[in-house]
Structure 1
Amino acid sequence: MDLLFEDVGYFDLTTLGLGIGEKKGLMTFAPKDEIVLCGVDEVKNILNQLDIKHTFFKKNGDRVEAHEVILECKAEASKLHKAWKISQNIFEYMSGIATYTNALVTIAKDINPNISVSTTRKNFPGVKEMMLKAVMSGGGAPHRLGLYDSILVFDQHLAFLSDKAELESSFKKLKSEFIERKVAVEVDSLVNARYFASLGADILQCEKMDYETLKECVLLKKEFTHILVSATGGIHKDNIAEFVKCGVDFIVTSSPYHAKPLDIKVKIKEDK
Structure 2
Amino acid sequence: MMDILEEDIGLMDITTEGLGFGAKAAKISFAPKEEVIICGVDLVEEMCQRLGLETKRFKQCGDRVSANECVLEAYGRADNVHKVWKASQNLLEFLSGIASKTEKMLSLARLHQPHIELLTTRKIFPRTKALALKAVFAGGGAHHRLGLYDSILIFKQHRVFFPDEAEFEAQFAQMKRKFLEKKVAVEVENYEEALYFARLGTDILQCEKMDFEMLKRCVSLKKIFPSLLLSATGGIGEHNIEDFAKTGVDFIVTSSPYHAKPSDIRVTIEML
Please indicate the TM-score interval, normalised by the length of the shorter structure: over 0.9
Any runs of at least 4 consecutive aligned residues in structure 1 with deviations exceeding 6 A, and if so which?
none
Which shows bigger deviation, 162-171 or 226-235? 162-171
* CA distance, structure 2, for counterparts of residue 185 and residue 110 of structure 1: 28
SS in 1 for 2:268: strand
For normalisation by structure 2, the TM-score amounts to 0.98
- Give the drift of 1:225: 1.9
Aligned residue in 2 for 1:121: 122
Describe how 1:1-272 pairs up with structure 2 within 5 A.
2-271=3-272
Letter in 1 for 2:207: C
- Give the drift of 1:41: 2.6
SS in 1 for 2:238: coil
Letter in 2 for 1:100: K
* CA distance, structure 2, for counterparts of residue 22 and residue 226 of structure 1: 64
- Is the Cα–Cα contact under 8 Å of residues 45 and 72 in structure 2 kept in the other structure? no
- Give the drift of 1:141: 0.8
- Is the Cα–Cα contact under 8 Å of residues 103 and 141 in structure 2 kept in the other structure? yes
Which shows bigger deviation, 155-164 or 168-177? 155-164
Which shows bigger deviation, 224-233 or 93-102? 224-233
- Give the drift of 1:98: 0.1
* CA distance, structure 2, for counterparts of residue 29 and residue 244 of structure 1: 36
- Is the Cα–Cα contact under 8 Å of residues 39 and 96 in structure 2 kept in the other structure? yes
SS in 2 for 1:25: strand
Structure 2 residue runs without a partner (length 5+): none
* CA distance, structure 2, for counterparts of residue 97 and residue 71 of structure 1: 19
Number of residues of Structure 1 aligned to a counterpart in Structure 2: 271
Letter in 1 for 2:56: T
- Give the drift of 1:162: 3.5
SS in 2 for 1:209: coil
* CA distance, structure 1, for counterparts of residue 55 and residue 148 of structure 2: 39
* CA distance, structure 1, for counterparts of residue 270 and residue 157 of structure 2: 57
SS in 1 for 2:231: strand
Q: Render the CA deviation track for 1:143-191: whole Å, top value 9, x for unaligned.
A: 1111111110011111212421111111111111111110000000001
For normalisation by structure 1, the TM-score amounts to 0.98
